[in-house]
Amino acid sequence: MPHIVFEKNNLLETPLKKGEIEFLFTAVSYHPEDKNRKIEYKIATKNRNVDFLLGIKEKDDNYLIKSDKTTRISPVSYIKDALNSYVLENKSKIVFKNTTNLKEKKEQENRYLKDIDFFVEDFKSDKEIQIEIGFGSGRHLLHQAKQNPNIQFIGLEIHYPSIEQLLKQLELQNITNVLVVNYDARLFMEFVESNQVGKIFVHFPVPWDKKPHRRIYSNEFIFEALRVLKVDGTLELRTDSRNYFDFCVDLLTNLDKASIKIDVNRDLEVISKYEDRWKKQGKNIYDVILTSQREDKKREINYDFGFDFSINFDNFIKNVFSKALIIKNFFVHIEEFYKILNRDNSGLIKVTMGNFDRPITKYLLVIDGKISYYQGEPLPTSSNIEADKKLKEILAK
Ligand SMILES: C[S@@+](CC[C@H](N)C(=O)[O-])C[C@H]1O[C@@H](n2cnc3c(N)ncnc32)[C@H](O)[C@@H]1O
């Protein structure tokens, strides 16, 4: 992580603009309950219109400046330039730095790899969509994509080396009908429109026998799968785990307007890496195919994350040191406060919130009592929406 250690000097007077870089304000940590904790500063920075925070804390007799982890941005050269500029303007002697922009690796966009924001805001397809969850080595997904050029495939994976391997194969084999996303499949479904998907493949998911709550299949997942599937669309589980099979049959039986079909040792045209392994060990392979007969309403996500009230920041941070609230499917944890120097009723509140499996950490920016999410609003997942409502309740008290 790029950082500079420099001899202690007065911090820069903010706001200050130098070329394309602006240091907008300096905020200092507020933690009266923890006297031993060292003071930290956050410098709100804008480089070529991209916002992020730099953090400064004492290191021995010096200061250490680096980017704030929560607000880190890409490309990293924007951060390095801002760090260099801060210390240069501060006219301090540099003790150590690793911020030279020498052979920085180009952070390349891959045309098949998409960010989750793309699916929230921009994704549209006239083609039928099919989704593979946890594609692993990608053998099954590549086979399906080649056989069905008129289908738009979406591959979901959380293991980055598997994603890189698939991206390489897509380029090599010139397959253009697959989009890949590095996101937890249990949460991804929320962003897919209703009645648009022909098939969802879940092949050899991790059985999680000791931690069943981590399984892909749950009542919530099946509810979302049925919503996104077209009439006659299918959710296809293939597993070697008798436990997982029984668990899913249980969840999938007696659903309204949906039916299931079960197979044992059915042959497919392509054998995935895991299937190959289990077959060699003589294991049974179970299929449970759920067919949807539902037509669901179009789902509108138009929740407003904006704040239509102000707070008295200075009072708030005096009265709420830190707060963690755990509610059934989501949580809100107010973690830290920073007061903006030389400005009343203004500061930063660091919050971690949302779903337990994929929490988000955000700063709330408070300027003269007016609140907004720093660096933009959270993704509109149902847990983020619920957490935001709770957060507003806490702030408005
Ligand atoms: C046992 S492997 C099976 C891979 C492949 N389907 C096959 O048959 O060879 C399970 C895969 O699911 C991925 N995975 C696990 N949980 C996931 C989740 N919540 N969302 C997306 N992928 C997940 C893992 O990273 C892993 O690659």
Select from 124, 142, 119 the least CA-distant residue to 132: 142
Establish whether residue 204 lines the binding site of ligand 1, counting it when its CB lies within 6 angstroms of any ligand atom. Answer: yes
Q: pLDDT band at residue 1, thresholds of 50, 70 and 90? A: confident
Q: Mean pLDDT over all residues of the chain?
A: 92
| pLDDT tens digits along 170-202 | 999 999 999 999 999 998 998 898 999 999 999
H or E stretch covering 51: strand 50-59
How far is the centre of ligand 1, averaged over its atoms, from the C-alpha of 162 (Å)? 9
Q: What is the mean pLDDT of residues 84-109?
A: 78
Q: Are 194 and 227 within 8 A, CB to CB?
A: yes
Q: Is the dihedral of CA 87, 93, 96, 101 positive or negative?
A: positive
Q: Are strands 286-292 and 178-182 parallel, antiparallel or unpaired?
A: unpaired
157 lines ligand 1 (CB under 6 A): yes
Question: Ligand 1 within 6 A of 186 CB?
Answer: yes
Give the residue among 394, 393, 325 at the shortest CA–CA distance from 359. Answer: 325
Burial 72-82 (b: 16+ CB within 10 A, else e): eeeebebbbbb
List 325's β-bridge partners, or say none: 332
The closest alpha carbon to 42, from 341, 353, 375, belongs to 341
Which sign does the torsion angle of CA 171, 172, 175, 181 carry? negative
3-state secondary structure of 4: strand
Of all protein residues, the one whose alpha carbon is nearest to atom 27 of ligand 1 is: 136
Residues 135 and 157 sit within 8 Å (Cβ to Cβ): yes
Q: Does ligand 1 lie within 6 Å of residue 239's CB atom?
A: no
Among 157, 211, 218, 221, the mutation site with the greatest number of ligand 1 atoms within 8 A of its Cβ is: 157
The CATH superfamily of 116-292 is: Vaccinia Virus protein VP39 (3.40.50.150)
Q: Indicate which residue's Cα is closest to atom 4 of ligand 1.
A: 136
- Check residue 111 and report its DSSP letter: T
pLDDT tens-digit readout, 265-320 = 999 999 998 999 999 999 999 999 999 999 987 776 789 999 999 999 999 999 88
**Does the CB atom of residue 158 touch ligand 1 within 6 A?**
yes
Q: Is the CB of 230 under 6 A from ligand 1?
A: no
Left, alpha or beta for 232 (phi > 0: left; psi -120 to 50: alpha)?
A: left
- Going by alpha carbons, the residue nearest to atom 13 of ligand 1 is 134
* Residue 33 pLDDT grade (very low, low, confident, very high; cuts 50, 70, 90): confident
